[in-house]
């Protein structure tokens, strides 16, 4: 399978298609560490990942040839480390911007950067930053999207675009659209459009402004997401006031 991407200015213009690799994120990191300069926007996509990695040391499982598993290399030295979460905002928005029209609006971001449809997980993003001293040098942005897979044994919450739309999606076309769309959001980030990105992120955030059930400190409660902090922590208002949570501290109860 040889893919090309025909949209956009730089993301996906240098596209490396691999039949099989352990993890496209690991491949991208090795490329950055061991070869000469890697063009900004290089994308590595794999038909099969044998050791796909998810957040918090989890595995990312994907049926060979059915879904999109790829990583983008972005040289985002312009981004001050305290604002790294904005990269996560830009990438997740780039993904939902493509999925919403494909799925009749049924796509959102589950904080911090999971891609959901209703209460089912369509995709995930794993961002790994490469620092030089205390400056950000490059980021490897791994995206796994469930596209044409029809069943997810033992992954209760997973769903694919095909299951939602009862249609088969062209992986190459979708990859091109995603590269282009992430590029648009990344250029907004580069141009310093923080407020716009934050506003759009809140608009697409699952549970934003709507009461729902959460669990934190072994306690279940009703709360309403009011936004995210600059560092990417979640702000949830409840009867006790507004709490600030990191990923390990709070769980959504669906
Ligand atoms: C998550 O846990 O939600 C993040 C999943 C990220 C998976 C993608 S698939 C392509 C890239 N390569 C990896 O090993 N992981 C990411």
For 180-206, what is each residue's pLDDT tens digit? 999 999 999 999 999 999 999 999 999
Phi-psi region of 83 (alpha: psi -120 to 50; beta: other; left: phi over 0): alpha
**What is the average pLDDT across 138-146?**
98
SS3 track for 79-126 = CCHHHCHHHHHHHHHHHHHHHHHHCCCCCEEECCCEEEECCEEEEEEE
pLDDT at 223: 98
Report residue 64: phi and psi, to 5°. Answer: -50, 130
Residue 38 near residue 201, CB atoms below 8 Å: no
Ligand 1 within 6 A of 48 CB?
no
Q: What is the pLDDT of residues 77-132, one digit of tens each?
A: 999 999 999 999 999 999 999 999 999 999 999 999 999 999 999 999 999 999 99
Report residue 216: phi and psi, to 5°. Answer: -150, 145
pLDDT at 114: 98
**CA 144 to centroid of ligand 1, rounded, Å:** 5
**CA 242 to centroid of ligand 1, rounded, Å:** 31
pLDDT at 47: 97
- pTM score above 0.85: yes
Ligand 1 within 6 A of 69 CB?
yes
Given a cut of 90, whether residue 6 has pLDDT beyond it is: no
**CA 221 to centroid of ligand 1, rounded, Å:** 30
Residue carrying structure tokens 């402004």: 209
**CA 220 to centroid of ligand 1, rounded, Å:** 29
Residue from 18, 60, 73, 123 whose mutation best tests the ligand 1 pocket (most atoms within 8 A of CB): 60
**CA 25 to centroid of ligand 1, rounded, Å:** 8
Residue 144 near residue 69, CB atoms below 8 Å: yes
Ligand 1 within 6 A of 24 CB?
yes
| CA atoms of 227 and 233, how far apart (whole Å) | 9
pLDDT at 2: 64
Burial per residue of 37-55, b for 16 or more beta-carbon CB atoms within 10 angstroms, e otherwise: ebebbbbbbbbebeebbbe
Ligand 1 within 6 A of 41 CB?
no
Q: By alpha-carbon position, which residue is closest to atom 16 of ligand 1?
A: 142
| CA atoms of 85 and 47, how far apart (whole Å) | 29
Ligand 1 within 6 A of 146 CB?
no
Per 3-state DSSP, the chain is made up of helix, strand and coil in percentages (nearest 5) of 30, 35, 40
| CA atoms of 14 and 72, how far apart (whole Å) | 10
Given a cut of 70, whether residue 1 has pLDDT beyond it is: no
């Amino acid at each position: 399978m040889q893919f090309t991407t025909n949209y956009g200015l730089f993301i996906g213009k240098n596209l490396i298609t691999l039949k099989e690799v352990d993890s496209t994120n690991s491949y991208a990191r090795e490329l950055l560490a061991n070869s000469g300069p890697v063009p900004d926007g290089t994308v590595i996509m794999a038909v099969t990942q044998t050791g796909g990695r998810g957040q918090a040391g989890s595995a990312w499982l994907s049926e060979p040839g059915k879904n999109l598993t790829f990583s983008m290399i972005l040289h985002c030295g312009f981004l001050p480390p305290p604002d790294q979460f904005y990269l996560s905002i830009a990438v997740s928005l780039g993904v939902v911007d493509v999925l919403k029209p494909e799925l009749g609006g049924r796509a959102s971001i589950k904080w911090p950067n999971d891609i959901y449809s209703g209460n089912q997980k369509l995709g995930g993003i794993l961002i790994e930053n490469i620092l030089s001293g205390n400056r950000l040098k490059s980021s490897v942005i791994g995206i796994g999207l469930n596209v044409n897979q029809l069943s997810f044994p033992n992954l209760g919450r997973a769903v694919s675009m095909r299951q939602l739309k009862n249609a088969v999606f062209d992986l190459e076309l979708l990859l091109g659209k995603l590269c282009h769309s992430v590029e648009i959001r990344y250029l907004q980030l580069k141009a310093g459009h923080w407020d716009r990105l934050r506003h759009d992120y809140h608009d697409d955030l699952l549970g934003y402004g709507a009461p729902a059930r959460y669990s934190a400190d072994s306690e279940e409660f009703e709360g309403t997401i009011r936004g995210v902090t600059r560092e990417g922590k979640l702000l949830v208002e409840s009867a006790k006031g507004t709490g600030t949570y990191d990923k390990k501290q709070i769980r959504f109860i669906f």
